[in-house]
Structure 1
Amino acid sequence: MGNPYDPYGQQPGYGQQQPGYGQQQPGYGQPPAQPGYGQPPAQPGYGQPPAQPGYGQPPAQPGYGQPAAQPGYGQPPAAPPAYGAQPAPAPAQPAYQEVHHHHYGSTGQLAQWGSRAGSFIIDYLIAIVPFFVLWLLGNLLASAGSGAAVLGALFMIIGIAIWIGVFLWICYQEGTTGQSIGKRQMGTRLIGAQTGQPIGFGMAVARKLAHILDGAVCYLGYLWPLWDERRQTFADKICNTLVVRS
């Protein structure tokens, strides 16, 4: 039987008791004993940092049944994509668009001065021709004698009534649809500069009355759209309206 104190002798055989606490550790070159089944691995001493994984080795994964590391405070967990779902595309960058401070209708093109003048002439003739004819007949009858003077006055009253009725009808058409007969024939439309919609009957009447300022100084207001950036007359500027192509 060998000497049990000989360090170069035989090691304890199978089934023999391993050295206990405080006994001699395994010799040089021999791996340390692994912990048994169900025993936790040895923890590092107080003040000693835990062993870091070696170079090129992945960090330790959580054990079976242990939850994975949660995201930081205030960060919501990333939702996994549904099965078969495509990843959400990146939000499209808004294309550069020119900013308009005013609505210019569906086409965005202001009416030319010639189209505006043409529609004004058509509407003016519709209103003034019946009035002028009846007024002229009334004057002729009034100068014929006392008996025809009553009939002449009646003709003039009818002419004035027709003129007022046509005037209000044109205002109604422009206020509700944006187009009178003249504007419809010339392909133009009256709209509000801020809304891009018809301005209503009351505002259309106010705009017609504001045309008095257009003709006050040598009809300068009617010519103002020739060089104005928004092609507005004085009445358009007062009522904040635009005439656009329909």
Structure 2
Amino acid sequence: MSFGDPNNPYGQQPPQGQPGHPQQAPQGVPPQYGYPQQPPQGAAPQYGYPQQAPPPYGAYPPPGMPVPGMPGSGMPPLAHWGLRVGAALLDGLIMAGPMYALIGVGAAVASDESTEAIAGVLSLIGTLYFFGMVLFQIYKEGTTGQTIGKKVVGISVHREADGATLGFGMAFVRKLAHFLDGIACYIGYLWPLWDEKKQTFADKVCSTVVIKVNKNG
């Protein structure tokens, strides 16, 4: 009785193709289950093939904002001059109204040394409120695109290039740039009336646009 090759003490090796032994795909035969597969060239990725990871959050501008290089993306509706004036008047009232009210009350009650001290305190509180509210409004405009007045009338300021918000630093620079709007008989504030992009001089310097938005957004 023979147990195979006498030179092989372990007996005969099972033929290839038996379970438990790696198999090689025959040349020219399509890969079967168990062989690594590659997607056909030019074919869309299917289940099981590596797929490209989606872009990270924040890679795209907000919905409705222009996407640079994308044909047909278009510019959102621009805010007309009347809306901008209305927002500016509301913001001015919110920032300066309480300050002048406190100063007025202080002046009304000032009649002697004791009441003059009270008037000074009221004036100080009003002044601190004004500057604090100015900084708060700049912060809101930089992070959300809207001051309180802009939110009420439904407009928002964004970077022209990609529709992103300005950030506190650029919003502060834009506020300073309004000096250019008033330096020549306030013509810069009137410029949106006939400008194609409805921009003031400050908008042009800072590359910003003011658009209409949903008031409930």
TM-score band w.r.t. shorter chain: 0.5 to 0.7
Higher helix share: 2
Would the alpha carbon gap of residues 165 and 155 (structure 1) be closer, same or farther in structure 2, given more than 3 Å must change? same
Find out whether 1:121 has 2:89 as its counterpart. yes
Deviation beyond 6 Å, 4+ runs, structure 1: 99-102
Please give the per-residue CA displacement for 1:133-152, whole angstroms capped at 9, x wherever unaligned: 0111223344x112211111
Of 145, 149, 159, 1:182 maps to 149
Per the alignment, residue 126 of structure 2 pairs with 159
Q: Aligned-pair distance for 1:218?
A: 2.0
Distance in 2 (CA, whole Å) between partners of 1:138 and 1:145 is 12
TM-fit CA distance, 1:101:
7.7
Listed one character per residue, the Cα deviations across residues 180-234 of structure 1 (whole Å, up to 9, x for unaligned) are 1211111111101112111001111121122222222222111010011111111
CA shift digits 1:36-70 (9 cap, x unpaired): xxxxxxxxxxxxxxxxxxxxxxxxxxxxxxxxxxx
Equivalent residue for 1:130, pick from 71, 84, 98: 98
Task: Write the distance in 2 (CA, Å) between the matches of 1:101 and 1:162.
Answer: 44
Q: Please report how far the alpha carbon of residue 116 of structure 1 lies from its aligned counterpart in structure 2 after TM superposition.
A: 0.9
Q: TM-score, normalised by structure 1?
A: 0.55
Aligned-residue offset at 1:107: 6.2
CA distance in 2, matches of 1:208, 1:145: 40
Q: Distance in 1 between matches of 2:176 and 2:108?
A: 31
Q: 2: distance between equivalents of 1:241 and 1:116?
A: 14
Unaligned runs of 5+ in 2: 1-39, 41-66
Name structure 1 gaps, 5 residues minimum. 1-78, 80-98
User: Do 1:173 and 1:180's aligned partners in 2 also have CA atoms closer than 8 Å?
Assistant: yes
- Once residues 124 and 197 of structure 1 are traced to their aligned partners in structure 2, the CA distance between those partners, rounded to angstroms, is 25
Q: Which residue of 1 aligns with 2:80?
A: 112
Corresponding letter in the other structure for 1:190: V
For residues 23-42 of structure 1, the aligned pairs below 5 Å read none
Q: Please state if 1:215 is matched with 2:215.
A: no
Question: Is the partner of 1:191 in helix, strand or coil?
Answer: strand
State whether residues 142 and 167 of structure 2, in contact with CA within 8 Å, keep that contact through their aligned partners in structure 1.
yes
Contact kept, 8 Å, 1:107 with 1:245, in 2: the verdict is no
Structure 2 CA distance for partners of 1:101 and 1:220, relative to 1, 3 Å: farther
1:138-178 CA-partner distances (Å, limit 9, x unpaired):
23344x11221111111111001111111111111110011
Check conservation: 2:68, 2:161, Cα contact below 8 A: no
In structure 2, the partner of 1:191 is 158
Q: Quote the residue 1:227 is aligned against.
A: 194
Amino acid at match of 1:112: H
Q: Name the SS for the 1:179 alignment partner.
A: coil
Question: Counterpart of 1:197 in 2: which secondary structure?
Answer: coil
2:49 maps to none
Report sequence identity in percent: 43
Question: Aligned equivalents of 2:191 and 2:176: distance in 1?
Answer: 17
Q: May I ask how many residue pairs the two structures share in their alignment?
A: 146
Higher Rg: 1
Q: 1:231 to 1:200 in 2, by over 3 A?
A: same
After superposition, what is the alpha-carbon deviation per residue over 1:9-44, rounded to whole angstroms, capped at 9, x for unaligned? xxxxxxxxxxxxxxxxxxxxxxxxxxxxxxxxxxxx
Aligned residue in 1 for 2:21:
none
Q: 1:185 to 1:245 in 2, by over 3 A?
A: same
RMSD: 2.3
